[in-house]
Amino acid sequence: MTSEEQPRRRRRRRPAKAGGRPSPGTDDRGGNLEESPDRRQSPPPPPPPPGDGTGFDGLGLSPTSLAAVHQAGYSQPTPVQAGLIPRAIAGVDVLGQARTGTGKTASFVLPILELLSAGPGRDQGVRALVLVPTRELAVQVRDEFEKLAAGSSLRCVAVYGGKPIKGQIDKLAKHPAVIVGTPGRVLDHMSRGTLNLGTLEIVTLDEADRMLDIGFRPDIEKILRRCPQSRQTLLLSATVPPPVAKLATRYMRDPEILDFSTNEISVETIEQSYFTVEPTRKFALLEALLEHEDPRQAIVFCRTKRGTDKIHERLLRRRRWKPGSVACIHGDLAQSVRDRVMREFREGSIRVLVATDVVGRGIDVSGVSHIINYDIPEFCDDYVHRVGRTGRMGREGVAFTFVSPEEGPQLTRIEMRIDKLLERAEIPGFVAIDAKPIAPPAASDPAAGPEDAPAPAAKPATPLLGRKRGPKRFRRAL
């Protein structure tokens, strides 16, 4: 392979890197957090083991919350949890910045449950609202509420598009304490009068940068203007660009800014590399890579919905994959299909998920071992969040990116964004770049002069009767 066939990239030298208050009110009814009306009694969770004040027991959580945390399997808080939970319980507006995969969801779910359990509230209205960018993330946050609300009578409902609104209206009529939803569907319920935010105490904006990127800013501002001025606001984001900072300045009261993002944007436990490949050889490389790596679970990211469907169909035609082990997900699928795909992917029955960036933010599936960027992302932050689907909570992961020779500048921008040079990878025996024949130089006579050089080919004469016209095209009758 010649140097001209490599992506043209501008390399730079990288500098070396150097190595609350407890809640007085608890609920002993032991009810599970469910959306169905027939919520059954369940025994209280086992008490947590005695701690030394360095784990969750030193964050100001009540015994009920500590028991739920212990039952969920959480042993030690992550930095964002240890820093944000005490300040949120204290009633302070907090802007938390942390990279993906660091436990941001539990860092705002636990304070909400703690504060709402401390008092009965003013009325039987909604007391906490969580806004998220995607439907899948709304379901995930609701599930986290259900898991951490063991031993509490608080109920949570998720509202998002793609589902029949009648069922959501019926659930809202039962006066849940917590609402998790996408901005568009929340506004829809507000306009119908099925959701009243007059009794709201806490508002949380999760993945705020992503919500602004996909155009939710007007909807978010409409919702925040309808919320009580005395509310507490929590904002969590992987990045804090100027639009996010402006939103915090306008709608938060003297927010404390807690930055838990390190100098390295990419996770250290993720091995990142790239392949130089011709566009016509990308699918063959994908097959060879899946055969070579044999991932436990992998997400293949494509740029478009149509491309996602094509890759999915081609993988299904290969006999190597068992039925049901390959699936795809994007925004044009019915919500019931998207829910089923994500449920089976979390259960592990789906090994390869071909997806657009709809699952690139906030989705937490612990079994993902490989990320394959079949199409290099258009924006650098999308690369960070795609790769963040693996290596969750300190686990190891692998990320590959397919780069054509013309996409070298995009790869350079990604490297500058993550401050890391990606290593070039190869699969033994696989030819990713088609060999191009090189024409031999024409033999020249040293004794020949300039006048002996071959004359350039003459251009064809222009027709005298006008320009050459193509065949006539007849318009089909309507």
Of 155, 178, 151, 150, nearest to 27 by C-alpha is 151
Within a domain: 319 = yes
**How far is 229 from 109, CA to CA, in rounded Å?**
21
Reported as a single tens digit per residue, the pLDDT across 257-289 is: 998 876 555 556 788 999 999 999 999 999 999
Residues 144 and 218 in one domain: yes
Contact indicator for 185, 135 with CB cutoff of 8 Å: no
Mean pLDDT for 208-230 is: 92
- Dmax over Cα atoms in the chain, in whole Å? 104
Q: Which has the higher per-residue pLDDT, 16 or 444?
A: 444
Find the range with the poorest average confidence among 23-27, 381-385, 393-397, 407-411: 23-27
Contact indicator for 270, 100 with CB cutoff of 8 Å: no
Q: Is the dihedral of CA 56, 59, 60, 61 positive or negative?
A: negative
Mean pLDDT for 425-432 is: 84
Within a domain: 118 = yes
411-421: b or e for each residue (b if 16 or more CB lie within 10 Å)? Answer: bbbbbeebebb
Specify the 3-state DSSP secondary structure of 354.
strand
Within a domain: 461 = no
User: Among residues 424, 449, 471, which one ends one of the domains?
Assistant: 424
User: Among residues 387, 406, 424, which one ends one of the domains?
Assistant: 424
Residues written for the chain:
478
Show Cβ contacts of residue 73 under 8 Å, excluding neighbours closer than 6 positions. none
Residues 419 and 303 in one domain: yes
Within a domain: 31 = no
Within a domain: 207 = yes
Within a domain: 238 = yes
**How far is 367 from 365, CA to CA, in rounded Å?**
6
Reported as a single tens digit per residue, the pLDDT across 155-184 is: 999 999 888 899 999 999 999 999 999 999
3-state secondary structure 125-138: CCCEEEECCCHHHH
Residues 317 and 173 in one domain: no
Within a domain: 465 = no
Residues 283 and 393 in one domain: yes
pLDDT at 170: 94
Residues 253 and 324 in one domain: no
Residues 290 and 401 in one domain: yes
Give me the residues paired with residue 402 across strands.
Answer: 275
For the chain, state the CA radius of gyration.
Answer: 28
Within a domain: 433 = no
pLDDT at 2: 44
**Quick one: angle between helices 63-72 and 135-148, nearest 10?**
120
Reported as a single tens digit per residue, the pLDDT across 95-138 is: 998 877 678 899 999 999 999 988 776 667 899 999 999 888 89
**How far is 104 from 264, CA to CA, in rounded Å?**
18
Residues 84 and 123 in one domain: yes
Residues 219 and 358 in one domain: no
Reported as a single tens digit per residue, the pLDDT across 382-392 is: 888 888 778 66
| Domain containing residue 186 | 56-259
Residues 61 and 155 in one domain: yes
User: Among residues 259, 294, 312, which one ends one of the domains?
Assistant: 259
Residues 112 and 147 in one domain: yes
Residues 315 and 221 in one domain: no
Residues 297 and 228 in one domain: no
pLDDT at 307: 93
Q: Based on the structure, what is the number of domains in the chain?
A: 2
CATH number for the domain harbouring residue 241: 3.40.50.300
